[in-house]
Amino acid sequence: MSPGPNLLRVATLAGLEPRSETQTQTLRVALVDALQQSQIVTETLPPVPRLGSEEQASIQIAYANGATLAGTLDQSTDWFQRAISAYRKALGLLNGCSAGPADRGRTQ
């Protein structure tokens, strides 16, 4: 499976709240798999030129949210470190945006 659909899986899974130990374990396995499959997009590849900074930041944030949940479920500081790195990349991308969506709408 390519990284794109896996990022969608990460974003979806990160929004789930398991209600049993079985659901927690199933979520942990599925989330870690999706994160590992999508990390090439967030950790290795350079930014995609056709995507704006906000879109690229959204990719980083989706990955970071999933990594944060994986760190919680896995009790692994490695996932938290990955989340921190992705959040920092997103912040760097967003700091480069001069106007928010509402401001851009008024100037176009």
pTM, two decimals, is 0.81
pLDDT at 107: 35
Rg (C-alpha) for the chain, rounded Å, is 15
> What CA–CA distance (Å, rounded) separates 41 from 22?
30
pLDDT per residue as tens digits for the range 14-61: 999 999 999 999 999 999 999 999 887 777 666 677 888 898 899 999
Answer whether 79's CB lies under 8 Å from 70's CB. Answer: yes
Domains in the chain: boundaries? 3-97
Q: Amino acid identity of 73?
A: L
